[in-house]
Amino acid sequence: MFTAYVLINTEIGSESSVLEALKKVEGVEEAHNLWGVYDIIASIKADTMDRLKFIITKKLENIGKVNAKLTMITTETRMSSAQSDEILLGTPALQSS
């Protein structure tokens, strides 16, 4: 699985409509409004790098009202051993008090 995080600048006043459109795009796992330099951050996942690139370059462009975007593609995913055990064994990780 390939993952990218995309920071998006929208046209002024169009943040909500772009956010709603993003949530309908296949591969967009999460999308959130931001305060700061960028207006929205989206997490995008795909089975292949080519599919990920297609979503970022073609699907996001079709949304419109996007002035700029900064894309960061992850190269490695790390998790705690408890998270790994939960995924591999199907048992919830124990939480320490």
CA-nearest of 86, 56, 79 to 69 is 56
Domain enclosing residue 70, as ranges: 2-89
Tell if the pTM clears 0.85, that is, is over it.
no
The pLDDT tens digits for 44-97 are: 999 999 999 999 999 998 999 999 999 999 987 676 767 656 666 776 655 554
Q: Please report whether residue 94 resides in a domain.
A: no
Reported confidence tier of residue 18, pLDDT bands at 50, 70, 90? very high
Predicted local distance difference test score (pLDDT) of residue 97: 47
Look at the chain and report how many structural domains it folds into: 1
pLDDT attached to residue 75: 87
Residue 70 has phi, psi (to 5 degrees) of -120, 120
Domain of 56, CATH number, reads 3.30.70.920
Query: pLDDT digits over 23-52, tens only?
Result: 999 999 999 999 999 999 999 999 999 999
**Residue, of 77 and 10, whose pLDDT is higher:** 10
Residue 96 lies in a domain: no
Scanning the structure block, which residue is given the tokens 């989206």?
Answer: 42
